[in-house]
Amino acid sequence: MIEDPISFEVIKNALISCAREMSQALRRTAFSPNIKERRDCSCALFDKDGHLIAQSKDIPVHLGAMPLSVKSCIRALDRNLEEGTMALLNDPYSGGSHLPDLTLVAPVFVEGERVAFTANRAHHADIGGVSPGSMPGLSTSIHEEGVIIKPRIIVENDNLQKHAITDILSGTLTPDERIGDLSAQIAANHVGIARLREVGNIHQWPDLIRTFQELQDYSANRMRNALAKYKGQTASFSDTLDSDGAGNWEIPISVSLTISNAGAIVDFQGTSEQVNGNVNCPIASTLSSVYYVFIALFGKDIPVNEGCWSVIEVKIPEGSLLNPMYPAAVSAGNVETSQRIVDVTLGAFSEIAPNLVPAASQGTMNNLTIGGIDPRIGKAFSFYETIGGGSGASKGNEGASGIHTHMTNTLNTPIESLETEYPLMVHAYSIRKGTGGDGQWRGGDGIIREIEIRGEGCTISIQSERRRSQPWGLNGGGNGESGRNALVYEGKVHALEAKSTVLAPNGAIVRIETPGGGGWGPPASD
């Protein structure tokens, strides 16, 4: 029961503003183009027990997973989380996602009492491993993917302790960039702490802390009510990943949905066991993908916090593709498998609410990393980006072209920034016309992106999907076109698999052609 609806609404928006200002601070002070230009970062506020209470509009695959990271830090470091400290982690088996995503957690104290946490997650362009960018086309153990950081204190007395990150600095190709981006994460948490204290001082801390719980209860009730019109209904859906990069093909992901008075049960029984390659998806990323679907379909006017998914029970078999056991490789699971989790969950909902659900979007983030020595300065560099594609059409709406979809919400790397920061040149960046699925409402088209390597001995790694399978249409709509990867050198086009790592000579061009989205409804007859 909300005691004061007006104050509740004011505080709710004040908390969201705190998280958004954190995000602005992180992007504006970051060192790497991946964070400052592409905005591959997320910020949020949590109560003293690690429950999400407010978030910025950032990256879906980050935000639903971050509560597990905060709770992991509390479990591991509770008494050490003192005022002026911050804890870092990236371990997918301790609440993290994949190793490049570094989460920094800061406690908020008022009069000596810990009352909340601020936290942010940022994708670092290199954290070590067998290939530059820490996103290899092939890895069969997490130890090949970079430095593993279990929860540890790296900030004391509000200052970064470099002795606490020596393994990161020695493992990465770009230590100065890592310090710069970590410093930006620290600054973002400082902003969050300061703004949250201001909100507490204005509205009084007892009232604010009570509102933390009211917010979660309110969102839980709203989500439960939104699902209630479908109670008693069940559905199931299956789809596949193209490959794991290690010789496994058409890897199945299956889900069944049950809607009841209490909420929803999402069961992934029938999904593949964990595989040798790196498409295994950490449980935090799996949960985040499921939660995203519910927010996207039913949460338009619901404040996003942990209450939203308190009414959603997710069953994931241990040791499966979506809940792997250590030391399974996971670098592509967070970015590629998460997209297929969304596809199958939406597919199941299309049987329950056919007019609500869009056709499949491109189903991949088209991860591209390029690393080597920059001949202009004689230092190592590591470039990372994801590339947009077509979104699925929905009833009454055609799909958007050339856009990041579902679990990613990043921007492109601006050509000016890319060519200034790295020994790279963009030859093409255009819409891949005609690749969206046909239908009463057409799917969006993909993208063509060509980047030339201007340095010797550079390594290119690609993690992508929908290179064999196609994004499906709905209600008679056509499928979107599959994507393609290639290396162009001396006039010859060499096709690349969906998961690839290659050594590229000077002058080689990597070409990424991304998938289109599925169409919705039968196309008009001639």
What's the CATH code of the domain at 136?
3.30.450
pLDDT at residue 390 is higher than 80: yes
Q: Give me the mean pLDDT over the 309-338 stretch.
A: 97
User: What pLDDT, on the 0 to 100 scale, is given for residue 193?
Assistant: 98
The helix (H) or strand (E) run that includes residue 197 is helix 175-203
Query: Could you say which of 195, 219, 243 is where a domain stops?
Result: 219
- Number of domains present in the structure of the chain: 2
- Model pLDDT, residue 186: 98
Mean pLDDT value across residues 385-408:
97
Strand 263-267 with 249-260, pairing: antiparallel
Mean pLDDT of 454-480: 97
Convert the pLDDT of each residue in 359-372 to its tens digit.
999 999 999 999 99
| Residue 364 within any structural domain of the chain | yes
Mean pLDDT over 223-239 rounds to 97
| pTM of the predicted structure, to 2 decimals | 0.97
DSSP-assigned letter for residue 149:
-
Res 2: pLDDT:
72
Mean pLDDT of 189-204: 97
pLDDT at 428 over 60: yes
387 located within any domain: yes
Asked which of 219, 237, 264 is the last residue of a domain, the reply is 219
**Residue 303, domain member (yes or no):** no
Helices (runs of H) and strands (runs of E) counted in the chain: 11, 20
**C-beta separation of 244 from 463 below 8 A:** no
pLDDT of residue 526 exceeding 70:
no
- Tens digits of residue pLDDT in 46-58: 999 999 999 998 8
298 has a pLDDT exceeding 90: yes
Write down the residue that tokens 């204005």 correspond to.
Answer: 202
Number of Cβ atoms within 10 Å of the Cβ of 222: 18
Residues 205 and 57 in one domain: yes
Secondary structure class of 352 (helix, strand, coil): helix
Q: Evaluate if residue 106 carries a pLDDT over 60.
A: yes
Q: Residue 224: inside a domain, yes or no? A: no
Residue 383 is assigned to a structural domain of this protein: yes
pLDDT tens digits, 64-82 = 889 999 999 999 999 999 9
| Contact present, 429 and 411 (Cβ < 8 Å) | no
Mean pLDDT score of the chain: 96
**Final residue before a domain boundary, out of 166, 200, 219:** 219
Q: What percent helix, strand, coil does the chain show, rounded to 5? A: 30, 25, 40
Report if residue 108 sits inside a domain: yes
Share of the chain above pLDDT 90, in %: 95
Query: What is the domain extent for residue 464?
Result: 358-526
342 within some domain: no
Query: Do you know the residue count of the chain?
Result: 526
- Beta strands 152-156 and 159-160 are antiparallel
Token pair in block for residue 179: 């310090």
The pLDDT assigned to 1 comes to: 57
**Domain assignment of residue 397, yes or no:** yes
